Amino acid sequence: GAVVSQHPSRVICKSGTSVKIECRSLDFQATTMFWYRQFPKQSLMLMATSNEGSKATYEQGVEKDKFLINHASLTLSTLTVTSAHPEDSSFYICSAGLAGIRDTQYFGPGTRLTVL
């Protein structure tokens, strides 16, 4: 149980285009989802927290107009990287919180974004 999926697993795009990444909780309802970014050989940095039906809360330094987050349902959150640039290339990982078990996040497999 508590499986989180991400789609796509890898994406390559041209500079200036937008890319959407989906995060789904497959067998549970997630009231809260988190988006992280991980640079090579580095730790995970929290980008934003999204609660179903409300606006995401972004961490300091994260551009909300560049990284659009939508949490439209209890099983789906999306991250859209708008007008992507090479410096946006990274590994993006989402996690989902299981309602009723506040302390544990379940992580998706990640999406490798490469911007040419």
Partner 1 sequence: AQSVTQLGSHVSVSEGALVLLRCNYSSSVPPYLFWYVQYPNQGLQLLLKYTSAATLVKGINGFEAEFKKSETSFHLTKPSAHMSDAAEYFCAVSARGYTGFQKLVFGTGTRLLVSP
Residues composing the chain: 116
Q: State the minimum distance, in angstroms, from the CB of residue 113 to partner 1.
A: 13
Long-range contacts of 40-48 (CB under 8 A, 24+ apart): 40/91, 44/93, 47/79
Rounded to a whole number of angstroms, the minimum distance from the CB of residue 10 to partner 1 is 9
What is the contact mask toward partner 1 in residues 83 to 102, using x (rule: CB under 8 A)?
--------x-x-x-x----x
Indicate the SS3 state at residue 7: strand
Question: Binding partner 1 by CB under 8 A: which of 15, 17, 73, 104?
Answer: 104
Looking at residues 23 to 82 of the shown chain, list those that interact with partner 1 (rule: CB under 8 A). 32, 34, 42-44, 46, 49, 51
Work out whether strand 111-115 and strand 10-13 pair parallel, antiparallel, or are unpaired: parallel
Beta strand pairing status for 19-25 and 4-7? Answer: antiparallel
Name the site residues for partner 1 (rule: CB under 8 A): 4, 6, 32, 34, 42-44, 46, 49, 51, 91, 93, 95, 97, 102-110, 112
